Amino acid sequence: MRNTRTVPARPVLFTALAVTAAGSLLLGPNTAVAKPEPPVHREAAADGTAAARTPASTARRALAATGAPLADDSRGYPRRQVLTPDPENPADKSIKLGLTPYHGIAPKLNALQALGDRVSVEVTGRSAGGHRLYLVTVTAPENARQARAQARMRELIEKAPAVAAKSPEIKRAYKAPVFVNNNIHGDEWEGTDASLKLIERLARAGDGRTRDLLAHSRLYFNITANPDGRIAGTRANAGGFDMNRDFVTASQPEVRAMRQIMVDKQPAVMLDLHGYVNGTLIEPTTPPHGENYEYDLFLKNTYANALGMEAAVNGLGYTPAKDGVESAQIPFRDQEEGWDDWPPIFTPQYAAFHGTVAAHTVEIPLEVNGSVYDTLPVAELRRRSAINVDVAGAALRATLDFVQARRTSLVADQIEVFRRGAAGAAQVPVSAETVPGVPGIGPEDVYTTTFPRAYVIPAGPGAQRSAPAAARLVDHLLANDVRVTRALHSFRLGGRTYAKGSYVVDMRQAKRGLANVLLADGRDISGKVSVMYDISGWSLGRLWGATVEPVTRGSLLGAPLWPVSGAARVGYVAPRGDLRLRLDDPREIAALNSLLRQGVPVRRAADGSAIVPGSARARAERAAKTYDVAFDATRAKGTVPLHRTRVAAAVTPGELLALREMDFEVTPVSTAVLNAGFDWSSVDVLFVSAGLEYEELDAGARTALDGFLDRHGLVGRGATGAALNSAAGLLAVKPVEGNGDANGVVRVVNAGGALMSGAPSHGFVYAPVWFTDLGPGVRVEQAYAAGNPLLSGHWRPAPDGSGGPGDAAGRAAVVSGPRAVLFGTEPLFRDHPKGEFAQVGRSLFGMAQASGR
């Protein structure tokens, strides 16, 4: 945690830039109060923004006046450490390619540190499979005083950008931060080796140009972002996640480590080295462009750097005829659409929201993974890998030339990104006039948004759907370096009164783009482009289960708001009587599972909540503390007993992670597992969404599955779950598959009852499914809204005109019966729509009761 400097207490006023370590405040009547921090007083500028009346020459005072932390980076550089070698692993897939195996990285880094005083190594965390994650910093030596000065300037750039813009010290002495991310896809290996070669060259070089580069920049290399996949030769990590899709939710430890690098180092430039596209693909990208960027600054710098990388790559002299290498391509210039920067799930797109004004995916050219890895001769694989390392190295060297030539303007543009956010300034649409030197800009490239004045996450019964969900969302915003405040008492904003304990995200802050990309509804871009490569709608404000309200007008000056560094705890147990645990959030499902495993006699109420007897109060208190959930007093007497629920799951990695987050006892199954023989007595319910095809089961496995489903319930998701339901004859419905390319946030209408009582009014779809021809006993639990159910994302009809949102409108999205629940939505997608998780949790409990226990 960063060291902080607080400001003496003043009248209770608020500034958007105030950030200090905060104590917890009240969220509701059941929450303990911790001592609040002193508020920060700022004067109002003419445009209503907060403006410090501090001379620009006293930058340190300006930073302190914001209440921002003053980082005490006292260690300086180099920061040497001797890394313990990993055991040699002859099965490491990189060995066949002639590349550095994971077990060879630690010795290599030890040797690089020994070359001089320019190379430092830090361990930033562990992968899902337990491997160390290495960050290498290459820079000219810094003593502790110089390191503190760099930290102070970095903080000033974000926390007081108007002052930073006028700072001669920053212009003269600030080291431009550059971040190189390697091997996030484990079977795209060569960026790691190119970076190691570059680090060695920089460590040894004695020329004046290298000395100047390192005197004016810090170069950060994430040596391998995915050591699990590097070793195994897989795209995903040991958790089964494609981590270049995880930057909205950061469900994986490797992604959280990368996120922290971006927060702490604040790179102005970054490269994410991938493979394989021939010729080498170098971003910037085609439309749609992320509407929350300061895209004029982003495009100016990414295009200029792309041209330099293109020249360097083509200058290597590789040809199609001799080497099989095509000329490099820049999607913005060379393609109409198909390689976009719309979603922030990708590393460079996410980096842009931390002030990176030149961020690129670079796809090196020659394929060495997949079937090629197993079929080509070793000599050919190594020839290709050597070329790929050379190409990646050319892109790296060109980027360093770009940074060296444009350091001052890159830093100035980063400051301008943050200044616009802090001032609430309008975005600048891209055009030939606003982004000179970039040819081909047209109206199809203009994506901007209107930022609200603030977002409020209200507190209190009736105002907040889920206190645990609100707390999780606040902590997630803070982890992403979004500034959040909390009300000490009630206040009015935008014509409405909010209760004390409500959280406020003032959108006049440096990272407003990131705040908005996480909380806003997003946009329906179906009419903008013909197809999307990946998700195009992701609103955490709609999908994480908390009530979040955008406020478009009003002033925060005088509001009793305090900066926080963490959400207040909401755990509570009523002092007497039986207890009610709402099951609206994955934490509540997890708490219930912990009680059931302890043998607590819990019953389900008609609204789906769990009734815990007062005799189990001590156990409830432990669960409340562990899971941070509330057990309220109740007079309800649940009618249906709940039992420990063991789940057989044929699901995606994201769904498996979500089930375990809810603390279900999960046994993964598949067609192959069932054909090998499976002990069905070890589970109580089956959840199927992927990897289990009824037609591919042998006779014995099919008989065993049929016998289980005669006595137990099924929860199915998507086309695979619906197909199993049809084959087993459980629920009389007809599944209809929508356009398989469709995805986004959808409006839904929920029924009451045990499964959907209190469920959010929005869901998530990816290749949506709906249900028609409902037979006797089938209940519609959730339906797609009438009209156009798509709130944000991309959902067009298929080429034959079918499968569009109009066909889904009003149709059943989730159906249930005595022996099955079927989802046409994606309630557990990539550990992402957390507000939907409880729908699956409740369904699993309900279908476990189908066993008749």
Q: Residue 533's pLDDT is what?
A: 86
Q: Tell me which residue has tokens 């070698």.
A: 85
**CATH no. for residue 637?**
3.30.70
Strand locations in 663-740 (E): 665-668, 685-688, 713-717, 734-737
| Residue 64 pLDDT | 52
Mean per-residue pLDDT of the chain: 91
Nearest C-alpha neighbor of 453 from the set 495, 501, 505, 514: 505
User: What letter would DSSP give residue 682?
Assistant: G
Domain final residue, candidates 546, 563, 580: 563
Residue 841 lies in a domain: yes
Same domain, 594 and 546: no
Q: Provide φ and ψ at 603, rounded to 5°.
A: -125, 155
Close Cβ partners of 321 (under 8 Å, ≥ 6 residues apart): none
CATH number of the domain where residue 405 is located: 3.40.630.10
How many Cβ atoms are within 10 Å of 182's Cβ, its own excluded?
26
* Secondary structure (DSSP) of 190-247: HHHHHHHHHHHHHHH--SHHHHHHHHSEEEEEES-S-HHHHHHT-SS-TTS--GGG-T
Same domain, 185 and 292: yes
Q: Is residue 340 part of a domain?
A: yes
User: Is residue 548 in a domain?
Assistant: yes
Residues of the chain with pLDDT under 50: 1-58, 66-72, 852-853
Total domain count for the chain?
Answer: 4
Same domain assignment for residues 496 and 605: no
In whole angstroms, what is the distance from residue 16 CA to residue 296 CA? 24
CA atoms of 746 and 535, how far apart (whole Å): 13
Domain boundary among 587, 610, 642: 642
Q: 231: Cβ–Cβ under 8 A, 6 or more apart, which residues?
A: 89, 91, 92, 93, 94, 101, 102, 129, 131, 186
**pTM (predicted TM-score):** 0.92
Fill in the amino acid letter for 152: R
Statement to judge: residues 659 and 755 lie in one domain: yes
CATH of the domain at 713: 3.40.50.880
Residue 525 within a domain: yes
Nearest by Cα to 805 from 823, 792, 787, 827: 787
> What is the Cα–Cα distance from 602 to 638, expressed in whole angstroms?
8
559 and 473 together in one domain: yes
CA distances from 406 to 304, 362, 691 (A): 10, 20, 51
Yes or no: say if 784 and 795 are a contact pair by the CB < 8 Å rule: no
Domain that holds residue 530: 43-49+450-563
Same domain membership, residue 844 and residue 724: yes
Domain termination residue (choose one: 532, 563, 594):
563
Asked if residue 166 is part of any domain, the answer here is no
426: three-class secondary structure by DSSP = coil
Report DSSP state, residue 487.
E
Give the model's pLDDT for residue 15: 34
Q: What per-residue confidence (pLDDT) applies to 33? A: 31
Query: For position 17, what pLDDT does the model report?
Result: 32
- Degrees, nearest 5: CA angle 669-675-678: 55
Q: Which residues contact 729 (CB under 8 A, 6 or more apart)?
A: none
578: its two tokens: 């039986």
CB-side neighbour CA atoms (13 Å) of 208:
0
807 touches 797 (CB < 8 A): yes
- Both 624 and 740 in one domain: the answer is no
Residue type, 165: A
Question: Where does residue 677 fall: left (phi above 0), alpha (psi -120 to 50 degrees), or beta otherwise?
Answer: left
| Residues 586, 539 within the same domain | no
Q: Which residues on adjacent β-strands are paired with residue 364? A: 275
Whether residues 577 and 702 share a domain: the answer is no
- Give per-residue pLDDT as tens, 497-551: 999 999 999 999 999 999 999 999 999 999 999 999 899 999 999 999 999 999 9
User: Does residue 538 sit in the same domain as residue 558?
Assistant: yes
Q: Would residue 25 count as lying in a domain?
A: no
Q: Which two tokens stand for residue 457?
A: 């996450």
User: Which amino acid is residue 499, in one-letter code?
Assistant: A
DSSP H helical segments within 424-561, as ranges?
A: 467-479, 512-519, 540-543
pLDDT of amino acid 850: 63
Q: Are 462 and 396 part of one and the same domain?
A: no
d(CA 19, CA 564): 7
Same-domain pairing of 319 and 245:
yes
3-state secondary structure of 624: helix
**Is residue 837 within a helix (H) or strand (E), and if so which, with residue range?**
helix 837-848
Q: Assess if residue 433 is contained within a domain.
A: no
* 551 lies in some domain: yes
* Pairwise CA distance, residues 568 & 499, whole Å: 15
pLDDT of residue 470: 98
* Helix, strand, or coil (residue 293): coil
Distance CA 300, CA 528 (A): 23
> Cis ω on the peptide bond leading into residue 789 (within 30° of 0)?
no
